[in-house]
Homo-oligomer: A and B are copies of this chain.
Amino acid sequence: MVTVTATQGNASLAKMLHILELFSEAEPVWSTAAILEALETSRSTGYRYIKTLHEAGLLNAVRNGYYTLGPRIIEMDLQIRLTDPLLLASHGVLEGLVDRIGHSALLCTAFRDAVLCVGECRAPSSPENRFSRGQRRPLFQGAVSKVILAHLPHHRLKAVYARQREEIEKAGLGSTWSAFRATLGEMKKDGYALTVGEFNPGVYSVAAPILTDQKTALGSVGVAWDENERRDVAVEHAVLAVKQAAKTISERLKEAQGS
């Protein structure tokens, strides 16, 4: 677990928010006692934090003294779904991709030093997978991630490299800054990324960047399919379709920006 770094001065604020980080798929329900222990604070303070979060709707009391993440989160996610320009601009496009390629499509965006899936459209045949909205993915594996990485703004990229030099080398993206930039430059020139079995074994993935006017990435669109699935889809065809989809979304975003 990554501890949220409270820069200075507002330790209690960050500490309170840290409670939200405790909840996971494996441990979705926390007792007050467990929260208090995890916080390493006095009973009073812990209860106060819990109460505040509860009043804000970010925590939900289930049975006696047990909490889960709260309903306000569900509400706020809807608020985002209704207003996120990226998501709105992709309406219909993902569906179109699925129709054309026959495999599941994904919409992603950068989040910290990772990539977050914000939209998806599953192919009819496709099994329930782990690529739903809200899924976090590593920044250095998989086509949707790599293609975003390649189109990150200058300084963002530099900051990422400083923090993740080791991971970047491990992912085979270059052992020096210039090698790293060269690898990404190649991808940038192609305008798409293709990976095989990086994030999930045996899974093909093709992705293209959604770009601003300044040619930096707002996100990416991609399709993925298992190597054991029907292979009659030419990779080139997928590349074209994905690039087309990305372009459509990019242009819609520019329009929305203008209005």
The answer to whether A49 and B13 touch across the interface, beta carbons within 8 angstroms, is yes
Instruction: For the complex formed, measure the closest distance between the CB of A60 and the CB atoms of chain B, giving whole angstroms.
Output: 8
A64 at the B interface (CB under 8 A): no
User: How far does the alpha carbon of A4 sit from the alpha carbon of B58 in the complex, in Å?
Assistant: 12
The answer to whether A78 and B111 touch across the interface, beta carbons within 8 angstroms, is no
The answer to whether B17 and A76 touch across the interface, beta carbons within 8 angstroms, is no
Against B, the Cβ 8 Å flags (1 = close, 0 = not) of A11-42 are 01110110010011100100000000000000
The answer to whether A74 and B112 touch across the interface, beta carbons within 8 angstroms, is no
Residues of B within 8 A of A53 (CB): 17
A227 at the B interface (CB under 8 A): no
The answer to whether A74 and B20 touch across the interface, beta carbons within 8 angstroms, is no
Residues of B within 8 A of A9 (CB): 48
Q: Which of B20, B28, B52, B83 contacts A10 (CB 8 A)?
A: B52
The answer to whether B68 and A74 touch across the interface, beta carbons within 8 angstroms, is no
> Which residues of chain A in 83-108 are interfacial with respect to chain B, using CB atoms and an 8 Å cutoff?
83-84
Instruction: For the complex formed, measure the closest distance between the CB of A156 and the CB atoms of chain B, giving whole angstroms.
Output: 11
Q: Which of B23, B56, B109, B133 contacts A20 (CB 8 A)?
A: B56
Residues of B within 8 A of A16 (CB): 13
List of 5 A-B pairs having minimum Cβ-Cβ separation, nearest first: A78-B134, A28-B83, A77-B77, A71-B111, A17-B56
